[in-house]
Amino acid sequence: MLVVAVAVAAMSTAAGGPAPMAGRPVADIIDEFRAAGYPFAYSDALVTGEMVVMAEPDPGEPPDIVRQILQSHRLTVRYEAGIYLVIPAAPVEAAPPARGVEKATAETGIETITVSASRYEIGRDISSSRFRLDRRTIQNMPDVGEDPLRITHRLPGAAASGASAKVHFRGGEETEVGIVLNGLDLFDPYHVRDYQNVFSAIDSRAIEGVEVFTGGFPVRFGDRMSGFVLMDTMEADTPRHTELGISVYNTSVLTTGSLSDSRWLFSARRGNLDLVIDPEYGQPRYFDVFGQYAVDLSDTTTFSVNALYADDGVTVVLEADPAEREQMDSDTRNVQLWLELTNDWSEELSTSTVLSLVEFDNLREGFLDDPEKMIAAVRDERDVRQLGIRQDWTWRAAERHVVQWGVQVQFAEASYDYASSAQYFGLPELYPQLPDRLDRGTLASRDGGSYGAYFADRWKFADGTILEWGLRWDDQTYTGLASDSQLSPRLSVLHRIGDRTDLRLSWGRYHQSQGVHELQVEDDIADYWPA
């Protein structure tokens, strides 16, 4: 403690008295204590540079001093896993524990505790998480391409190719991971999708935090086998804030703001890879735009409008020699619009309703002209339209009992226009069973509904033990299968062994259907597979 004593002493005046703190930035005080050896952690979106100490605190230990200077800003300190975390204060604070540090206790609301195993939270309430990376940390991570989804590659049970922004969880396929932004399960939110899905269409600066399930997720989430990545956009804490950015990956602008009862966020990015890659090898051209506007209609009702637009025009030259030319072109337009309405009907009952619209168009064309090996061409055009509605209910039946249920309905249509031809030279001699020419063509359309419903019951049996059981039902009508509905029972248990040790066990059944846009026309397959 000698280093701490010397550092704290340095904060005294030359006369030996305590250095005044009133009027100084709150962040400076916390940083000084952190430099002295106290493990404080805070988000600069929560402790802003404009916050100053309103009144001189009473003498005490650093955690107690910080707690005092945060009170006027409606913040407090909680000691969790060896770290003093700066968090929003509860509306009515209980008596502080020893040393003035608020600790996570059994009184934590049962609906805020995640029981499932294999769940990691990045940038939100850290009470039940193992990892915490806030928005600024995600942006500063090396080699992430300013992409919030790449941060999931570093979690236990995750694997990735390095080139792609997509991730595998616990040996599953990359298509088995759902991406949720502000309550909507996003439709294919990636750039350069036909070539490794190099980046996502989500600006890391617009994201407040990332929460990840790598298995054992509750029944609220369905139609995925491996896991979910949940993201919420940041909320403005100043009347107006604007950022301009330029890097190897993107040129971008982000602006946020708030009024008394409304908030907005706008982000636009233009990819820069076409400026740094030799045109001889192709040109990846892409951009994305995201906007959100939220308004408090009353003290208990909030309405928000969200829109995400992504556009790609990618040319890849695999072989530039005119005698062996090989080139692929891909053009993609992805529009997603969703409205969300949240209601607190009472202290016990609340709902969230999301209405969404998706329009997705992709055209892929390519050719190979090598008279010594193969002459081939392909044209693959796919269009998707999807309209969905989802409603989730939460009923806090008692202090130790929470019930959740919800329904989800989607209507979608997809059209396919596929044609390919290939003529082989040399291969028939090596593989006589293969034809020397292959021609395929499919012109098809599919439409129908996708339905889901769930019920979850959560009980807190003791201060350290919580059990949640649930049942989910899903069905799809566009597949044409006579009977392919899916039932998914799940069970999770959380037992708190000590202040720093939790034991989570999860069991369940999980299904994933083949999407209406995933018909394998390129393999000359005209039917869907069962879930």
Distance CA 41, CA 54 (A): 21
Q: Predicted confidence band at 516 (pLDDT cuts at 50, 70, 90)?
A: very high
User: Which residues have a Cβ under 8 Å from the Cβ of 15 and sit 6 or more positions away?
Assistant: none
pLDDT tens for 257-266 read 998 899 999 9
Would you say 97 and 199 are in contact if contact means Cβ atoms under 8 Å apart?
A: no
Closest Cα to residue 383, out of 444, 337, 442? 444
pLDDT tens for 163-174 read 788 888 888 898
Please determine, for residue 14, whether its predicted confidence score (pLDDT) is greater than 70: no
- Looking at residues 268-280, what average pLDDT do you find? 86
Instruction: Kindly report which listed range (281-285, 353-357, 393-397, 505-509) carries the lowest average pLDDT score.
Output: 281-285
Distance CA 182, CA 304 (A): 10
Element (H, E) at 8: helix 2-10
Per-residue model confidence (pLDDT) at position 139? 62
Please determine, for residue 8, whether its predicted confidence score (pLDDT) is greater than 50: no
pLDDT tens for 350-371 read 999 999 999 999 999 999 998 8
Per-residue model confidence (pLDDT) at position 440? 92
Beta strand spans in 132-176 (E): 158-159, 168-169
Q: Predicted confidence band at 130 (pLDDT cuts at 50, 70, 90)?
A: very low
Under DSSP, is residue 14 helix (H, G, I), strand (E, B) or coil?
A: coil
Q: Which two tokens stand for residue 145?
A: 């391409």
Please determine, for residue 107, whether its predicted confidence score (pLDDT) is greater than 50: no
Please determine, for residue 161, whether its predicted confidence score (pLDDT) is greater than 90: no
Between 291 and 158, the higher pLDDT residue: 291
β-pairing, 83-88 vs 40-41, is: parallel
Distance CA 27, CA 91 (A): 23
Please determine, for residue 392, whether its predicted confidence score (pLDDT) is greater than 80: yes
Q: Predicted confidence band at 321 (pLDDT cuts at 50, 70, 90)?
A: confident
Per-residue model confidence (pLDDT) at position 263? 93
User: Which residues have a Cβ under 8 Å from the Cβ of 449 and sit 6 or more positions away?
Assistant: 409, 410, 411, 412, 476, 477, 478
Q: Predicted confidence band at 143 (pLDDT cuts at 50, 70, 90)?
A: low
Between 308 and 230, the higher pLDDT residue: 308
Per-residue model confidence (pLDDT) at position 50? 81
Between 48 and 126, the higher pLDDT residue: 48
Closest Cα to residue 500, out of 458, 468, 464, 459? 464
Per-residue model confidence (pLDDT) at position 485? 93
Q: Which residue has the tokens 């602008």?
A: 253
What is the DSSP secondary-structure string of 15-53? TSSBPP-TTSBHHHHHHHHHHTT--EE--TTTS-TT-B-
Would you say 254 and 236 are in contact if contact means Cβ atoms under 8 Å apart?
A: no
Per-residue model confidence (pLDDT) at position 111? 67
Burial zone of 509 (CB within 10 Å; 0-12 exposed, 13-18 middle, 19+ buried)? exposed
- Looking at residues 481-497, what average pLDDT do you find? 91
Closest Cα to residue 9, out of 28, 179, 18, 209? 18
Element (H, E) at 505: strand 501-508
Please determine, for residue 288, whether its predicted confidence score (pLDDT) is greater than 70: yes
- Angle made by CA atoms 97, 65, 105, in degrees to the nearest 5: 25
**How much is the mean pLDDT over the chain?**
84
Closest Cα to residue 122, out of 105, 104, 136? 136
Q: Is 43 left (phi over 0), alpha (psi -120 to 50) or beta?
A: beta
